[in-house]
Amino acid sequence: MIYTNIRSAVFLERPNRFVARVRLDGAEMTVHVKNTGRCGELLLPGARVYLEDFTGRMGSRKLAYSLIAVEKQREKAPPLLVNMDAQAPNRVTKEALLTGTLSLPGLGRLGTVKPETVFGSSRLDFFVRDEAGQEGYLEVKGVTLEHDGVASFPDAPTERGVKHLRELSELAERGLRAYVLFVIQMGQMHVFRPNAERHPAFAAALRDAVGHGVEALAYDCIVTRDTMTLHAPIPISLG
């Protein structure tokens, strides 16, 4: 996945979940934030952030810049570049499914990859069918929270996430393949864990889903200022 016209800026503040104030080339301005999550451990005053510049291709946009990535400072390691674009996990997942770089356990080569499929009262991220006719459903969760190489989700309570896990469990009980993929929007992670401290119900729902046959996967990414690529699986600890 490639971004174009990337600019470097300094984060100042986040007046609300949709916008941020940054300093770009010495001038303060308001930019769109492509992630409505809290991201409180990332968007700290003085943090280096990266913006996609839409000048000349605004369309119906009101703001010329979107904040897509941030450098997270760490005490005992170099800064970690974290992609913050909430749409990026689905985009890189689709690319990986279509190219075959992401394989789903129990399914062969995919013949169908259909985004945004309704099941029950939810819209799951992907419906897939392999060339032998086996079908499955995949829900994708973007991960931006980490501590000492441990990635975790969610960064805030998500009843919607719990609902998705329950519906994936129902699919698995019907004999269909069901998957939840945690796309870690950074590299250098060595394990993924559900964030039981922030949302115990999500951690419990994930353990229950796996117990009912849902396949849980976690992949880290190669992140640069203007790209993000699904990289490699990392272990999951359900605790």
Tokens of 100: 């075959």
Q: Please, where in the chain does CATH 2.40.50.580 lie? A: 6-75
CA distance linking residue 10 with residue 21, whole number of Å:
9
Q: What are the phi and psi torsion angles at 95 (to 5°)?
A: -60, -45
Q: What is the pLDDT of residues 47-72, one digit of tens each?
A: 999 999 999 999 999 999 999 999 99
pLDDT at residue 123, as a whole number: 85
Closest CA to 181 of 148, 222, 151, 149: 151
pLDDT at residue 77, as a whole number: 83
Tokens of 11: 């984060």
Q: What is the pLDDT of residues 217-226, one digit of tens each?
A: 999 999 999 9
Residue 4 has pLDDT above 80, yes or no: yes
The string over 154-171, giving b where at least 16 C-beta atoms fall within 10 Å of a residue's C-beta and e elsewhere, is bbeebeebbebbbbbbbb
Domain topology for 6-75: OB fold (Dihydrolipoamide Acetyltransferase, E2P) (2.40.50)
Domain topology for 88-233: Trna Endonuclease; Chain: A, domain 1 (3.40.1350)
Q: What is the pLDDT of residues 181-198, one digit of tens each?
A: 999 999 999 999 999 999
- C-beta separation of 68 from 31 below 8 A: no
Tokens of 110: 């995919």
Tokens of 181: 């993929």
Q: Quick one: average pLDDT of 19-38?
A: 95
Q: Residue 56 corresponds to which amino acid? A: G
Cα angle 60, 65, 66; round to 5 = 95
Closest CA to 95 of 207, 231, 234: 231
Whether the model clears a pTM of 0.85, i.e. scores above it, the answer is yes
User: Percentage of the chain surpassing pLDDT 90?
Assistant: 91
Q: Please, where in the chain does CATH 3.40.1350.60 lie? A: 88-233
ω into 154 cis (within 30 of 0): yes
In sequence order, the 6+-apart residues with CB closer than 8 A to the CB of 235 are 190, 191, 192, 218
Q: Where are the alpha helices (DSSP H) in 68-193?
A: 88-99, 159-173
